[in-house]
Structure 1
């Protein structure tokens, strides 16, 4: 009886060992293959989404946003991402073709390991739509490259951001906005001359419309200077409270600009109003056919 019980126990132990061994062999033979197939995918996915936020952070544009042919770029990057206060940015389309470049400029001291704010403006030429085709949105990638003066691959790094651009967006043109730099408007004894000599043009993009003069002057009156332009000493008093362009009329070379100025912000001392008006008139004169510019009502820009 005892021998029979021992035999049964022994057979049960052997059966358990066989089952465990079979499971081990199966996992080693087949489970390993599954893991081998899965691991590269997981690693590849990890590489694609590697977090660079400890090195560079972009606040404008945001991932997958739609950009026009001229757009601003803002963010922060470690000082080690820069060289001589700058680093390159490029835009490629879905096929990897480069369609735009820009140089990001640090807006504060870059010689630090801390985060440094940067700004850039990029222009690119999107592919043209075939006549009669429906509006389309294409994809691309914005690439923020660590500046690497050594040229050594080990020092390369980049942040890739998916982006979209609207192929049906209106065509644009480059215009000049004239603002003011006091340092460029001084005589030999550093006295302010309040002259056109201090005017400085900055480039902007506007949509091509039937009213380019009005569109450009309205953009000027917003007074939107970049941090880089301000760092160069360029200034403006615009925007003025309540002051806005209402109409424009060109007749025999004379451009009449009609403004609303409910708070009389265009008045003041002769130096101030001279500079304010010069910014408007020089901006308007860049357009063909404009010989002279006058404000309406006539009492505007009077001391």
Structure 2
């Protein structure tokens, strides 16, 4: 190999080394920039939005002008300046009215990261119908209006959201007979021991005899009165107890039952009302009327 050839090779190697060392020096000094690599804390270009105050953030869902259901996920990435103790607030506005409000939580540590991820499951149970807005509001512990910031997401709800209806079970009812006097059927009030039945619907209960007497003490209804029905039982009479044993119903009232009551016809009619009302039940063959636990002399002619 001649000297010229060797010299060319040496010069080429030296040039290569010089260029390589120069490039390394510039790279280490930052003159030649490293290729950018995305970290978890960076906001991507796709889905980039700006708040009213120009804060850039990434919105993942729901996107503006999208259709959403009553249940949806509010998710994205927001600079930590928007958070206070890892949360900021939101509200849902429909027809100018706030129908739901709450807060968005981030599981990231705001003391370590510049950008915090958030994902909140939201369910709008009432008022979310048609077009509305989801308003994101920054945390503003100072309370000063100049520190407020927000971003409004226009959306359309695909279905009406309402509170689940509580279906109440219709109570079972029973039809009982009550007995009253009747001025149309006995205009001269001569049939002292005769009373006439009306039918009353009550809630079905175990103690149907007690329920029937309590209905009797209410007296005839307005419609029943228009048909001539009336009661002879004094106002203020209250049922204290009723016990049925061996076919005998022992029914105890307060003293109002006999207060101011006199005359054979009146006492007979009161007794007839109570006795006939209880004897409609197969288990009752006889009725003993008491006042404060005593039956002697009660409603006797």
Find the structure with the greater CA-based Rg.
2
Fold-level similarity (TM above 0.5) = no
TM-score normalised by structure 2 residue count: 0.40
